[in-house]
Copies of this chain bind each other. A is one copy, B any other.
Amino acid sequence: MEVFNNFAFSTGSTLAMTGVMALGMKILQIVFTLFLCWVLIRLSHKLINKILEAQVQRKKLAMSERKASTLSTVAGSILKYVIYFIGLVSVLKQLGVPTESLLVIASAGSVAIGLGAQGIAGDMMEGFFILFEDHYAVGDVVTIQGITGTVESVTLRSTTLRDPMGSVHIIPNGSIGTVTNNCREFINAAVTVGIAYGESIDRAIAVLNDEMAKTTDITDILETPAVAGVVGLDDSAVTLKVVAKCKVKTALGVEAELRRRIKNRFDKEGIEIPFPQQVVHLVKEA
């Protein structure tokens, strides 16, 4: 509050004139500062609109008119508040107010905005790495955060998947974490099938191997499927597993076809796929 110091000084001295003149000078400066702010806001608004109009016409940035108008409104009002804030600090400084106290308060907003925007910033950095390191490309079938779908688009900020049900998922890049890409060279189809405890395991494996040898007519299969063996001695069945190396994006179809063939073959061979089993010890009462 140097202004009072000046005022005090002038009353303490005989040259009050000087003090009055200095005060007048200050008021003039403040009015001028405020006027300048107003001019700057007007100019910047015009400038933003000019730039965005040019962008829309040049068609290079591919920004629709609706987007340009949204951006213009937001950028304009952000700029307005920044200019007002700088103007306010200037005026207070000219009045001799200790502006540190204001800056401490202002930094609260700064921290809030910085923290609030960290998500956006993180999204974009992740987006850069996804594009730069080729994690996936449009058309790939990927699994992100438990959602499996075909990539429809990748931008710096988000990835868009279309899942098999037709729903479209928009995933912020910053929350992606682990990516599962199911479209790298090949994919495996796996079918597990249970056989009755009474059946011979060795015969069932032989039958499966024979059936698998006949899958050469399925063009999506890259190698003759292999029997992975006995994967479980379960409650009601001995479980066997067959794995087939396929072309990408064909695993679900191949699995459906293999299930159909195995079921038909087992029916023909008389190998039982058992229902749940239970031994009941019957005690009759009243």
Contact = CB atoms under 8 A, between A and B. Distances in A.
Interface string A126-137: 101101110100
Contacts of A38: none
B99 A90 contact: no
A286 to B, nearest CB: 5
A256 B86 CA distance: 63
Interface string A209-249: 00000000000000000001111110110100001010000
Nearest to A198: B267
A73 to B, nearest CB: 10
A20 interface: no
Contacts of A89: 98, 100-101
Nearest to A277: B275
Contact of A114 (B110, B228, B256, B275): B110
Nearest to A25: B8
Interface stretch (A26-34, A45-53, A54-62): A26-34
Contacts of A282: 280, 282-285
Contact of A122 (B119, B133, B157, B278): B119
Interface in A90-131: 90, 93-94, 97-126, 128-129, 131
Report the 6 A-B pairs with minimum CB-CB distance, sorted nearest first. A116-B121, A229-B256, A111-B114, A115-B118, A112-B117, A116-B122
17 contacts: A70-B128, A82-B102, A82-B105, A93-B98, A116-B118, A116-B124, A119-B126, A166-B184, A167-B180, A171-B177, A229-B253, A229-B256, A232-B259, A275-B279, A277-B281, A279-B281, A280-B281
Given A105-B110, A116-B125, A133-B155, 18 more contacts: A4-B33, A5-B29, A86-B102, A112-B115, A112-B116, A114-B115, A129-B157, A164-B188, A166-B185, A167-B180, A169-B179, A170-B180, A201-B260, A202-B260, A230-B256, A277-B278, A277-B279, A281-B285
